[in-house]
Chains A and B, each alone.
Chain A
Amino acid sequence: MPYNEIIMDHFSNPRNVGEIPDADGVGEVGNPVCGDMMKFTIKVKDDRLEDVKFLTFGCGAAIAVSSMVSELAKGKTLDEAMQITNKDVAAALGGLPGNKMHCSNLGADALHKAIEDYRKRQAVPVAKTEESGGGCCCSFCDDDFDCPVSSASPGPTCEAKVQEK
Protein backbone atom coordinates (compact mmCIF):
# COMPACT_ATOMS: atom_id res chain seq x y z
CA MET A 1 0.00 0.00 0.00
CA PRO A 2 1.56 3.30 -1.05
CA TYR A 3 -0.31 5.34 1.58
CA ASN A 4 -0.16 5.67 5.36
CA GLU A 5 -3.06 5.06 7.77
CA ILE A 6 -4.24 8.68 7.97
CA ILE A 7 -4.47 8.92 4.19
CA MET A 8 -6.22 5.56 3.94
CA ASP A 9 -8.67 6.65 6.63
CA HIS A 10 -9.57 9.85 4.76
CA PHE A 11 -9.69 7.93 1.48
CA SER A 12 -11.96 5.22 2.89
CA ASN A 13 -14.18 7.55 4.91
CA PRO A 14 -13.92 10.91 3.22
CA ARG A 15 -15.43 13.78 5.23
CA ASN A 16 -17.67 16.45 3.73
CA VAL A 17 -18.29 14.88 0.34
CA GLY A 18 -20.83 16.69 -1.78
CA GLU A 19 -21.85 19.95 -3.30
CA ILE A 20 -23.58 22.75 -1.36
CA PRO A 21 -26.57 23.61 -3.56
CA ASP A 22 -26.75 27.33 -2.69
CA ALA A 23 -23.02 27.77 -2.14
CA ASP A 24 -21.56 31.20 -1.36
CA GLY A 25 -18.36 30.34 -3.23
CA VAL A 26 -17.14 27.71 -5.69
CA GLY A 27 -13.53 26.77 -6.47
CA GLU A 28 -12.28 24.26 -9.04
CA VAL A 29 -8.77 23.08 -9.88
CA GLY A 30 -7.26 20.42 -12.13
CA ASN A 31 -8.74 18.45 -14.98
CA PRO A 32 -8.97 14.82 -16.01
CA VAL A 33 -5.84 15.10 -18.18
CA CYS A 34 -3.83 15.64 -15.01
CA GLY A 35 -5.63 12.77 -13.35
CA ASP A 36 -7.04 14.92 -10.56
CA MET A 37 -9.88 17.39 -10.42
CA MET A 38 -11.35 19.05 -7.33
CA LYS A 39 -14.41 21.20 -6.77
CA PHE A 40 -14.98 22.93 -3.41
CA THR A 41 -18.20 24.65 -2.42
CA ILE A 42 -18.41 26.79 0.73
CA LYS A 43 -21.05 28.35 2.92
CA VAL A 44 -19.94 31.50 4.78
CA LYS A 45 -21.49 33.01 7.90
CA ASP A 46 -20.03 35.96 9.84
CA ASP A 47 -16.79 35.66 7.88
CA ARG A 48 -16.43 32.02 8.92
CA LEU A 49 -16.59 28.82 6.87
CA GLU A 50 -19.83 27.41 8.16
CA ASP A 51 -19.74 24.53 5.72
CA VAL A 52 -17.20 23.13 3.25
CA LYS A 53 -17.92 20.34 0.78
CA PHE A 54 -15.91 18.81 -2.01
CA LEU A 55 -16.21 16.69 -5.12
CA THR A 56 -13.04 15.03 -6.36
CA PHE A 57 -12.12 13.00 -9.41
CA GLY A 58 -8.77 11.52 -8.62
CA CYS A 59 -6.52 9.04 -6.93
CA GLY A 60 -6.42 8.00 -3.29
CA ALA A 61 -4.17 10.92 -2.38
CA ALA A 62 -6.40 13.46 -4.12
CA ILE A 63 -9.49 12.23 -2.27
CA ALA A 64 -7.68 12.18 1.10
CA VAL A 65 -6.27 15.67 0.47
CA SER A 66 -9.75 17.03 -0.32
CA SER A 67 -11.21 15.43 2.78
CA MET A 68 -8.41 16.80 5.00
CA VAL A 69 -8.72 20.31 3.56
CA SER A 70 -12.44 20.32 4.27
CA GLU A 71 -11.80 19.29 7.89
CA LEU A 72 -9.02 21.81 8.42
CA ALA A 73 -11.07 24.64 6.92
CA LYS A 74 -14.46 24.09 8.47
CA GLY A 75 -15.17 26.63 11.22
CA LYS A 76 -12.15 28.78 10.39
CA THR A 77 -12.38 32.46 9.47
CA LEU A 78 -11.80 33.20 5.81
CA ASP A 79 -8.42 34.77 6.56
CA GLU A 80 -7.38 31.74 8.59
CA ALA A 81 -8.52 29.42 5.83
CA MET A 82 -6.53 31.42 3.28
CA GLN A 83 -3.42 30.62 5.35
CA ILE A 84 -3.83 26.85 4.90
CA THR A 85 -1.17 25.72 2.45
CA ASN A 86 -0.88 22.52 0.46
CA LYS A 87 2.15 21.75 2.62
CA ASP A 88 0.03 22.00 5.78
CA VAL A 89 -2.45 19.57 4.26
CA ALA A 90 0.27 17.06 3.37
CA ALA A 91 1.69 17.39 6.90
CA ALA A 92 -1.74 16.85 8.47
CA LEU A 93 -2.01 13.67 6.40
CA GLY A 94 1.29 12.43 7.80
CA GLY A 95 3.07 13.06 4.52
CA LEU A 96 2.26 12.18 0.93
CA PRO A 97 4.36 9.95 -1.33
CA GLY A 98 6.88 12.17 -3.15
CA ASN A 99 5.38 11.69 -6.57
CA LYS A 100 1.95 12.75 -5.28
CA MET A 101 3.05 15.97 -3.61
CA HIS A 102 2.85 17.76 -6.89
CA CYS A 103 -0.27 16.61 -8.71
CA SER A 104 -2.70 15.47 -6.08
CA ASN A 105 -1.99 18.09 -3.48
CA LEU A 106 -4.21 20.83 -4.86
CA GLY A 107 -6.87 20.89 -2.19
CA ALA A 108 -5.82 24.14 -0.54
CA ASP A 109 -5.77 25.84 -3.94
CA ALA A 110 -9.33 24.73 -4.62
CA LEU A 111 -10.42 25.99 -1.22
CA HIS A 112 -8.71 29.34 -1.77
CA LYS A 113 -10.41 29.67 -5.14
CA ALA A 114 -13.78 29.10 -3.48
CA ILE A 115 -13.02 31.82 -0.90
CA GLU A 116 -11.83 34.20 -3.63
CA ASP A 117 -15.02 33.46 -5.52
CA TYR A 118 -17.03 34.31 -2.40
CA ARG A 119 -15.13 37.55 -1.88
CA LYS A 120 -15.56 38.49 -5.52
CA ARG A 121 -19.27 37.98 -5.16
CA GLN A 122 -19.16 40.23 -2.06
CA ALA A 123 -17.06 42.67 -4.09
CA VAL A 124 -14.38 42.73 -1.43
CA PRO A 125 -11.04 43.23 -3.14
CA VAL A 126 -8.57 40.46 -2.33
CA ALA A 127 -4.86 40.19 -2.61
CA LYS A 128 -3.88 37.43 -5.03
CA THR A 129 -2.95 34.33 -3.09
CA GLU A 130 0.08 32.38 -3.94
CA GLU A 131 -0.86 29.00 -5.32
CA SER A 132 1.51 26.48 -3.93
CA GLY A 133 0.75 23.64 -6.26
CA GLY A 134 0.20 25.24 -9.63
CA GLY A 135 -2.94 24.78 -11.67
CA CYS A 136 -2.23 21.52 -13.37
CA CYS A 137 0.66 19.20 -13.77
CA CYS A 138 1.64 17.88 -17.13
CA SER A 139 1.39 14.12 -17.25
CA PHE A 140 4.27 13.92 -19.70
CA CYS A 141 6.85 15.98 -17.83
CA ASP A 142 6.95 17.71 -14.48
CA ASP A 143 5.80 21.15 -15.56
CA ASP A 144 3.00 23.16 -14.05
CA PHE A 145 0.74 24.93 -16.45
CA ASP A 146 -2.70 26.48 -16.58
CA CYS A 147 -5.13 23.67 -17.08
CA PRO A 148 -6.61 23.39 -20.54
CA VAL A 149 -10.38 23.05 -20.49
CA SER A 150 -10.53 19.81 -22.42
CA SER A 151 -7.37 18.81 -24.13
CA ALA A 152 -5.01 15.89 -23.99
CA SER A 153 -2.12 18.10 -25.04
CA PRO A 154 1.04 18.08 -22.96
CA GLY A 155 2.15 21.18 -21.08
CA PRO A 156 3.45 24.05 -23.19
CA THR A 157 7.11 23.36 -22.54
CA CYS A 158 6.68 19.63 -22.44
CA GLU A 159 7.27 18.62 -26.04
CA ALA A 160 10.72 20.11 -26.09
CA LYS A 161 11.57 18.38 -22.82
CA VAL A 162 10.30 15.02 -23.97
CA GLN A 163 12.38 15.38 -27.11
CA GLU A 164 15.42 16.03 -24.97
CA LYS A 165 14.74 12.83 -23.06
Chain B
Amino acid sequence: MVKINLDYGAATPVDPAVLQAMYPYFTEHYGNPHSLHDLGEQPRQAVAAAREKVAALLGAKAEEIIFTSCASEANNTALKGLAAASKSKGKHIITCAIEHHSVLNPLRTLEKAGFKLTILPVDRYGLVDPEQLRQAITGETIFISIQAANPEIGTLQPLPLLTAVAQEKGIPFHTDATSAAGFIPLKVEELGVDLLTLAGDQFYGPKGSGALYVRRGTRLLPLLEGGIQEKGRRAGTENVPAIVGLGEAAVLAREKMAARSSSLAALRDALKEKIFAAVPHLHLNGHPHLRLPHNLHVSVEFVEGEALLLRLNMAGIYVSSGSTCTSQALKSSHVLQAIGLAPELAQGSLLFTLGPESKAEDAPYVAEQLSRITALLRQMSPLYHKYSKGG
Protein backbone atom coordinates (compact mmCIF):
# COMPACT_ATOMS: atom_id res chain seq x y z
CA MET B 1 0.00 0.00 0.00
CA VAL B 2 1.16 3.49 -0.88
CA LYS B 3 2.12 5.70 2.06
CA ILE B 4 2.95 9.29 1.32
CA ASN B 5 3.45 11.55 4.30
CA LEU B 6 2.76 15.18 3.47
CA ASP B 7 2.20 16.15 7.08
CA TYR B 8 5.77 16.52 8.34
CA GLY B 9 4.65 19.71 10.08
CA ALA B 10 2.91 17.45 12.59
CA ALA B 11 5.93 15.23 13.20
CA THR B 12 9.24 14.39 11.58
CA PRO B 13 11.16 11.13 11.91
CA VAL B 14 14.30 11.30 14.03
CA ASP B 15 17.37 11.26 11.79
CA PRO B 16 19.29 7.97 12.28
CA ALA B 17 22.44 9.92 13.19
CA VAL B 18 20.48 11.81 15.85
CA LEU B 19 19.11 8.59 17.28
CA GLN B 20 22.59 7.03 17.37
CA ALA B 21 23.90 10.02 19.29
CA MET B 22 21.05 9.76 21.80
CA TYR B 23 21.22 6.03 22.62
CA PRO B 24 24.12 6.03 25.11
CA TYR B 25 22.40 8.67 27.23
CA PHE B 26 19.47 6.37 27.96
CA THR B 27 21.70 3.53 29.09
CA GLU B 28 25.43 3.77 29.55
CA HIS B 29 25.57 7.49 30.37
CA TYR B 30 22.29 7.80 32.22
CA GLY B 31 23.81 9.93 34.99
CA ASN B 32 22.60 13.29 36.18
CA PRO B 33 24.71 16.12 34.75
CA HIS B 34 24.69 17.78 38.17
CA SER B 35 26.22 14.83 40.03
CA LEU B 36 29.68 15.57 41.34
CA HIS B 37 30.81 11.97 40.95
CA ASP B 38 31.99 10.31 37.77
CA LEU B 39 28.51 9.28 36.54
CA GLY B 40 27.67 12.94 35.99
CA GLU B 41 30.72 13.72 33.93
CA GLN B 42 29.80 12.36 30.49
CA PRO B 43 26.20 13.67 30.59
CA ARG B 44 27.49 17.08 31.73
CA GLN B 45 29.92 17.25 28.83
CA ALA B 46 27.23 16.08 26.40
CA VAL B 47 24.81 18.80 27.50
CA ALA B 48 27.56 21.43 27.20
CA ALA B 49 28.44 20.19 23.71
CA ALA B 50 24.79 20.24 22.64
CA ARG B 51 24.49 23.80 23.89
CA GLU B 52 27.45 24.79 21.70
CA LYS B 53 25.83 23.07 18.71
CA VAL B 54 22.46 24.78 19.08
CA ALA B 55 24.21 28.11 19.66
CA ALA B 56 26.24 27.58 16.46
CA LEU B 57 23.03 27.07 14.44
CA LEU B 58 21.88 30.50 15.62
CA GLY B 59 25.25 32.25 15.62
CA ALA B 60 24.78 32.74 19.36
CA LYS B 61 26.88 32.08 22.46
CA ALA B 62 26.39 28.81 24.32
CA GLU B 63 25.37 30.56 27.55
CA GLU B 64 22.51 32.24 25.65
CA ILE B 65 20.75 28.90 25.09
CA ILE B 66 18.16 27.53 27.56
CA PHE B 67 17.02 23.96 26.94
CA THR B 68 13.28 23.33 27.32
CA SER B 69 10.94 20.40 26.82
CA CYS B 70 9.28 21.81 23.69
CA ALA B 71 8.57 24.97 21.73
CA SER B 72 5.43 25.70 23.75
CA GLU B 73 7.51 25.75 26.93
CA ALA B 74 10.12 27.98 25.30
CA ASN B 75 7.40 30.41 24.15
CA ASN B 76 5.76 30.46 27.59
CA THR B 77 9.14 30.95 29.25
CA ALA B 78 9.99 33.84 26.95
CA LEU B 79 6.67 35.68 27.15
CA LYS B 80 5.78 35.19 30.79
CA GLY B 81 9.41 35.55 31.82
CA LEU B 82 9.82 38.85 29.98
CA ALA B 83 6.52 40.18 31.32
CA ALA B 84 7.40 39.27 34.90
CA ALA B 85 10.83 40.88 34.61
CA SER B 86 9.60 44.09 32.95
CA LYS B 87 6.54 44.96 35.04
CA SER B 88 8.14 48.11 36.41
CA LYS B 89 8.95 49.36 32.89
CA GLY B 90 5.48 49.08 31.45
CA LYS B 91 2.63 46.76 30.64
CA HIS B 92 2.21 46.85 26.88
CA ILE B 93 2.96 43.87 24.64
CA ILE B 94 2.76 43.60 20.84
CA THR B 95 2.23 40.44 18.80
CA CYS B 96 0.47 39.49 15.57
CA ALA B 97 -2.76 37.71 14.71
CA ILE B 98 -1.28 34.56 13.19
CA GLU B 99 1.00 33.46 16.03
CA HIS B 100 0.84 29.89 17.28
CA HIS B 101 -1.50 29.23 20.21
CA SER B 102 1.53 28.78 22.46
CA VAL B 103 2.24 32.48 21.90
CA LEU B 104 -1.31 33.85 21.73
CA ASN B 105 -2.68 31.98 24.73
CA PRO B 106 0.06 32.96 27.24
CA LEU B 107 -0.30 36.55 26.02
CA ARG B 108 -4.06 36.44 26.58
CA THR B 109 -3.38 35.15 30.08
CA LEU B 110 -1.05 38.10 30.63
CA GLU B 111 -3.76 40.39 29.31
CA LYS B 112 -6.16 39.04 31.95
CA ALA B 113 -3.48 39.71 34.53
CA GLY B 114 -3.47 43.40 33.58
CA PHE B 115 -1.06 43.67 30.65
CA LYS B 116 -2.18 45.52 27.53
CA LEU B 117 -2.02 43.50 24.36
CA THR B 118 -1.87 44.78 20.78
CA ILE B 119 -2.45 42.09 18.19
CA LEU B 120 -1.25 43.41 14.83
CA PRO B 121 -3.22 42.38 11.75
CA VAL B 122 -1.54 40.74 8.77
CA ASP B 123 -2.14 41.22 5.07
CA ARG B 124 -3.68 38.56 2.84
CA TYR B 125 -0.31 36.81 2.58
CA GLY B 126 0.17 36.81 6.33
CA LEU B 127 2.78 39.60 6.44
CA VAL B 128 3.10 42.08 9.30
CA ASP B 129 3.66 45.68 8.19
CA PRO B 130 6.76 47.23 9.88
CA GLU B 131 5.08 50.64 9.76
CA GLN B 132 2.06 49.32 11.66
CA LEU B 133 4.45 47.85 14.21
CA ARG B 134 6.13 51.23 14.61
CA GLN B 135 2.78 52.92 15.18
CA ALA B 136 1.71 50.33 17.75
CA ILE B 137 4.72 50.94 19.97
CA THR B 138 4.06 53.12 23.02
CA GLY B 139 6.28 54.30 25.87
CA GLU B 140 4.81 51.40 27.84
CA THR B 141 5.78 48.65 25.38
CA ILE B 142 7.92 46.03 27.12
CA PHE B 143 8.39 43.49 24.32
CA ILE B 144 7.33 42.38 20.86
CA SER B 145 6.75 38.77 19.75
CA ILE B 146 6.39 38.00 16.05
CA GLN B 147 6.99 34.61 14.48
CA ALA B 148 9.74 33.85 11.95
CA ALA B 149 7.48 31.67 9.80
CA ASN B 150 3.87 30.61 9.99
CA PRO B 151 3.45 26.86 10.55
CA GLU B 152 0.22 26.79 8.58
CA ILE B 153 0.46 29.05 5.53
CA GLY B 154 4.28 29.02 5.57
CA THR B 155 4.73 32.80 5.22
CA LEU B 156 8.14 34.15 6.26
CA GLN B 157 8.02 37.44 8.15
CA PRO B 158 10.46 40.21 7.16
CA LEU B 159 12.14 39.93 10.58
CA PRO B 160 15.11 42.27 9.99
CA LEU B 161 12.67 45.06 9.02
CA LEU B 162 10.52 44.41 12.09
CA THR B 163 13.39 44.07 14.55
CA ALA B 164 14.95 47.29 13.22
CA VAL B 165 11.84 49.12 14.43
CA ALA B 166 12.13 47.48 17.86
CA GLN B 167 15.85 48.25 18.11
CA GLU B 168 15.27 51.95 17.41
CA LYS B 169 13.09 52.04 20.51
CA GLY B 170 15.20 49.59 22.52
CA ILE B 171 12.38 47.06 22.91
CA PRO B 172 13.22 43.34 23.28
CA PHE B 173 12.02 41.22 20.34
CA HIS B 174 11.06 37.55 20.62
CA THR B 175 10.46 35.33 17.61
CA ASP B 176 8.85 31.90 17.52
CA ALA B 177 11.03 30.21 14.91
CA THR B 178 9.68 26.71 15.53
CA SER B 179 8.63 25.96 11.98
CA ALA B 180 11.57 27.83 10.43
CA ALA B 181 14.46 26.29 12.39
CA GLY B 182 16.47 23.83 10.36
CA PHE B 183 15.05 25.08 7.04
CA ILE B 184 16.00 28.73 6.75
CA PRO B 185 19.09 30.50 8.15
CA LEU B 186 18.40 31.92 11.60
CA LYS B 187 21.43 33.90 12.69
CA VAL B 188 20.25 35.99 15.60
CA GLU B 189 22.51 38.94 14.71
CA GLU B 190 21.21 39.09 11.15
CA LEU B 191 17.61 38.75 12.30
CA GLY B 192 18.10 41.26 15.11
CA VAL B 193 16.11 39.21 17.62
CA ASP B 194 16.68 39.07 21.37
CA LEU B 195 14.85 35.82 22.04
CA LEU B 196 14.15 32.91 19.72
CA THR B 197 12.18 29.69 20.16
CA LEU B 198 12.95 26.43 18.38
CA ALA B 199 12.11 22.74 18.76
CA GLY B 200 14.05 19.68 17.61
CA ASP B 201 11.08 17.63 16.48
CA GLN B 202 10.45 19.99 13.56
CA PHE B 203 13.84 19.29 11.98
CA TYR B 204 14.51 15.58 12.49
CA GLY B 205 15.38 15.77 16.18
CA PRO B 206 13.38 14.08 18.96
CA LYS B 207 10.04 15.18 20.39
CA GLY B 208 10.43 16.69 23.84
CA SER B 209 13.40 18.82 22.81
CA GLY B 210 13.21 22.59 22.64
CA ALA B 211 15.41 25.61 23.18
CA LEU B 212 15.08 29.29 23.88
CA TYR B 213 17.80 31.70 22.83
CA VAL B 214 18.00 34.68 25.19
CA ARG B 215 20.40 37.47 24.27
CA ARG B 216 22.90 38.17 27.01
CA GLY B 217 21.67 40.97 29.23
CA THR B 218 17.96 40.33 28.58
CA ARG B 219 16.05 40.18 31.85
CA LEU B 220 13.86 37.12 32.18
CA LEU B 221 12.27 35.46 35.21
CA PRO B 222 12.02 31.66 35.11
CA LEU B 223 8.75 29.90 34.31
CA LEU B 224 9.75 26.64 35.98
CA GLU B 225 11.28 27.31 39.38
CA GLY B 226 13.22 24.81 41.41
CA GLY B 227 16.82 23.76 41.06
CA ILE B 228 19.66 25.67 39.48
CA GLN B 229 19.58 23.83 36.14
CA GLU B 230 20.07 26.06 33.09
CA LYS B 231 21.63 28.60 35.49
CA GLY B 232 18.36 28.95 37.35
CA ARG B 233 16.44 29.89 34.20
CA ARG B 234 14.68 26.54 33.83
CA ALA B 235 14.44 24.09 36.72
CA GLY B 236 14.13 20.34 36.27
CA THR B 237 16.56 17.51 35.63
CA GLU B 238 17.90 17.85 32.11
CA ASN B 239 16.42 15.47 29.53
CA VAL B 240 19.93 14.54 28.44
CA PRO B 241 19.03 12.23 25.51
CA ALA B 242 16.66 14.84 24.06
CA ILE B 243 19.20 17.62 24.52
CA VAL B 244 21.89 15.51 22.84
CA GLY B 245 19.44 14.75 20.03
CA LEU B 246 18.60 18.41 19.57
CA GLY B 247 22.32 19.23 19.42
CA GLU B 248 22.89 16.59 16.76
CA ALA B 249 19.87 17.77 14.75
CA ALA B 250 21.29 21.31 14.91
CA VAL B 251 24.62 20.09 13.51
CA LEU B 252 22.86 18.28 10.65
CA ALA B 253 20.70 21.35 10.00
CA ARG B 254 23.75 23.57 9.79
CA GLU B 255 25.59 21.21 7.45
CA LYS B 256 22.67 20.30 5.23
CA MET B 257 20.31 23.27 5.37
CA ALA B 258 21.03 24.70 1.91
CA ALA B 259 20.79 21.35 0.14
CA ARG B 260 17.83 20.19 2.22
CA SER B 261 15.82 23.36 1.66
CA SER B 262 16.49 23.64 -2.06
CA SER B 263 15.55 20.00 -2.65
CA LEU B 264 12.37 20.35 -0.55
CA ALA B 265 11.43 23.55 -2.36
CA ALA B 266 11.92 21.83 -5.74
CA LEU B 267 9.71 18.92 -4.69
CA ARG B 268 7.13 21.31 -3.25
CA ASP B 269 7.06 23.37 -6.46
CA ALA B 270 6.61 20.22 -8.55
CA LEU B 271 3.76 19.08 -6.30
CA LYS B 272 2.15 22.51 -6.53
CA GLU B 273 2.39 22.50 -10.30
CA LYS B 274 0.89 19.00 -10.56
CA ILE B 275 -2.06 19.59 -8.29
CA PHE B 276 -2.89 22.97 -9.81
CA ALA B 277 -2.87 21.34 -13.24
CA ALA B 278 -5.08 18.47 -12.04
CA VAL B 279 -7.64 20.22 -9.84
CA PRO B 280 -9.76 23.16 -11.01
CA HIS B 281 -10.86 25.85 -8.51
CA LEU B 282 -7.77 25.49 -6.35
CA HIS B 283 -6.37 28.50 -4.46
CA LEU B 284 -2.87 29.03 -3.09
CA ASN B 285 -2.75 30.47 0.43
CA GLY B 286 0.23 32.26 1.95
CA HIS B 287 2.88 34.20 0.07
CA PRO B 288 3.80 33.14 -3.50
CA HIS B 289 7.53 33.01 -2.70
CA LEU B 290 8.24 34.30 0.83
CA ARG B 291 7.43 30.94 2.35
CA LEU B 292 8.95 27.89 4.02
CA PRO B 293 10.59 25.61 1.45
CA HIS B 294 8.64 22.54 2.54
CA ASN B 295 5.22 24.20 2.88
CA LEU B 296 2.28 24.21 0.46
CA HIS B 297 -1.12 25.45 1.58
CA VAL B 298 -4.16 25.44 -0.67
CA SER B 299 -7.92 25.75 -0.54
CA VAL B 300 -10.06 23.37 -2.56
CA GLU B 301 -13.22 25.24 -3.42
CA PHE B 302 -16.69 23.68 -2.79
CA VAL B 303 -15.47 20.86 -0.52
CA GLU B 304 -14.61 20.50 3.13
CA GLY B 305 -11.12 19.78 4.42
CA GLU B 306 -11.78 16.93 6.81
CA ALA B 307 -13.61 14.94 4.14
CA LEU B 308 -10.65 15.53 1.80
CA LEU B 309 -8.20 14.54 4.53
CA LEU B 310 -10.03 11.29 5.34
CA ARG B 311 -10.36 10.34 1.66
CA LEU B 312 -6.69 11.12 1.02
CA ASN B 313 -5.83 9.00 4.06
CA MET B 314 -7.73 6.11 2.48
CA ALA B 315 -5.49 6.59 -0.58
CA GLY B 316 -2.39 6.48 1.64
CA ILE B 317 -1.74 10.23 1.55
CA TYR B 318 -1.37 12.05 4.86
CA VAL B 319 -2.15 15.77 5.02
CA SER B 320 -3.58 18.30 7.45
CA SER B 321 -6.37 20.90 7.23
CA GLY B 322 -7.41 24.14 8.91
CA SER B 323 -11.11 23.46 8.54
CA THR B 324 -13.52 23.84 11.44
CA CYS B 325 -14.25 20.13 11.43
CA THR B 326 -10.66 18.99 11.80
CA SER B 327 -10.13 20.93 15.00
CA GLN B 328 -11.26 19.38 18.25
CA ALA B 329 -12.59 22.76 19.32
CA LEU B 330 -14.49 23.02 16.02
CA LYS B 331 -13.00 26.42 15.31
CA SER B 332 -11.69 27.24 11.89
CA SER B 333 -8.04 28.25 11.85
CA HIS B 334 -7.37 31.70 13.31
CA VAL B 335 -4.60 32.08 10.74
CA LEU B 336 -6.99 31.65 7.81
CA GLN B 337 -9.44 34.06 9.43
CA ALA B 338 -6.66 36.62 9.94
CA ILE B 339 -5.61 36.56 6.28
CA GLY B 340 -9.24 37.21 5.40
CA LEU B 341 -9.89 33.92 3.63
CA ALA B 342 -13.60 33.38 2.87
CA PRO B 343 -15.14 30.85 5.29
CA GLU B 344 -15.88 28.28 2.58
CA LEU B 345 -12.27 28.46 1.38
CA ALA B 346 -10.99 28.09 4.94
CA GLN B 347 -13.18 24.99 5.28
CA GLY B 348 -11.59 23.50 2.17
CA SER B 349 -8.00 24.16 3.22
CA LEU B 350 -5.25 21.57 2.91
CA LEU B 351 -1.74 21.83 4.30
CA PHE B 352 1.09 19.83 2.73
CA THR B 353 4.46 19.79 4.51
CA LEU B 354 7.24 17.85 2.84
CA GLY B 355 10.07 16.02 4.57
CA PRO B 356 12.97 13.61 4.32
CA GLU B 357 11.01 10.80 2.64
CA SER B 358 9.34 13.03 0.05
CA LYS B 359 10.07 11.98 -3.52
CA ALA B 360 9.52 13.37 -6.99
CA GLU B 361 7.38 10.32 -7.85
CA ASP B 362 4.85 11.30 -5.17
CA ALA B 363 3.57 14.38 -6.98
CA PRO B 364 1.76 12.70 -9.92
CA TYR B 365 0.04 10.19 -7.61
CA VAL B 366 -1.01 12.87 -5.14
CA ALA B 367 -2.34 15.06 -7.95
CA GLU B 368 -4.26 12.16 -9.46
CA GLN B 369 -5.81 11.17 -6.13
CA LEU B 370 -6.61 14.73 -5.12
CA SER B 371 -8.28 15.26 -8.47
CA ARG B 372 -10.34 12.05 -8.16
CA ILE B 373 -11.35 12.73 -4.54
CA THR B 374 -12.18 16.38 -5.17
CA ALA B 375 -14.42 15.41 -8.09
CA LEU B 376 -16.15 12.81 -5.94
CA LEU B 377 -16.78 15.20 -3.05
CA ARG B 378 -17.85 18.00 -5.38
CA GLN B 379 -20.38 15.64 -6.88
CA MET B 380 -22.09 15.54 -3.49
CA SER B 381 -21.50 19.20 -2.62
CA PRO B 382 -24.53 21.50 -2.68
CA LEU B 383 -22.14 24.43 -3.17
CA TYR B 384 -20.66 22.88 -6.30
CA HIS B 385 -24.08 22.03 -7.70
CA LYS B 386 -25.15 25.60 -7.15
CA TYR B 387 -21.99 26.84 -8.87
CA SER B 388 -22.43 24.47 -11.83
CA LYS B 389 -25.96 25.70 -12.34
CA GLY B 390 -24.54 29.19 -12.50
CA GLY B 391 -26.16 30.22 -9.23
Q: Which residues of A contact B (CB under 8 A)?
A: 1, 3, 8, 11-12, 14, 17-19, 28, 32-39, 54-63, 99-100, 102-104, 137, 139-140, 152
Contact = CB atoms under 8 A, between A and B. Distances in A.
Contacts of A17: 379-380
- Top 4 A-B residue pairs of the complex, sorted by shortest distance between their CB atoms: A59-B325, A35-B324, A32-B344, A59-B306
25 contacts: A3-B310, A14-B380, A17-B379, A34-B324, A35-B330, A35-B332, A36-B304, A37-B383, A39-B382, A56-B380, A57-B382, A58-B307, A59-B306, A60-B307, A60-B310, A62-B304, A62-B307, A62-B325, A99-B328, A99-B329, A99-B330, A103-B324, A103-B325, A139-B324, A139-B331
Which of A12, A39, A104, A137 has the most chain B CB atoms inside 10 A of its CB? A39
A55 B304 contact: no
A28 B382 contact: yes
B310 A32 contact: no
Interface string B313-344: 11000000001111011111000010000111
B382 A37 contact: yes
Nearest to A28: B382
B179 to A, nearest CB: 24
Contacts of B310: 1, 3, 8, 11, 60
Nearest to A12: B314
Contacts of B380: 14, 17-18, 54-56, 63
Contacts of B313: 1
Contacts of B332: 35, 139
B303 interface: yes
Which of A56, A62, A139 has the most chain B CB atoms inside 10 A of its CB? A139
A4 to B, nearest CB: 13
Given A32-B383, A60-B310, A152 B325 contact: no
A162 to B, nearest CB: 10
Contacts of B173: none
B331 A56 contact: no
A137 to B, nearest CB: 7
The B contact surface, by secondary structure, is helix
B352 interface: no
Nearest to A165: B108
Nearest to A63: B307
Given A60-B306, A137-B330, A32 B347 contact: yes
A56 B330 contact: no
A68 B379 CA distance: 18
A1 B318 CA distance: 12
Nearest to A140: B331
Nearest to A142: B330
Contacts of A54: 380
Nearest to A102: B330
B35 interface: no
A114 B304 CA distance: 23
Contacts of A8: 310
A34 B203 CA distance: 35
B262 interface: no
Contacts of B143: none
Which of A56, A58, A100 has the most chain B CB atoms inside 10 A of its CB? A58
Which of B303, B325, B344, B347 has the most chain A CB atoms inside 10 A of its CB? B325
B330 A152 contact: no
B167 interface: no
A34 B342 CA distance: 12
A164 to B, nearest CB: 10
Given A55-B381, A57-B381, A139-B331, A35 B307 contact: no
A14 to B, nearest CB: 7
A133 to B, nearest CB: 14
Contacts of A104: 325
A1 B309 CA distance: 11
A61 B332 CA distance: 16
Given A59-B304, A63-B307, A35 B325 contact: yes
Contacts of A57: 302-304, 344, 347, 381-384
A29 to B, nearest CB: 10
A34 B344 CA distance: 9
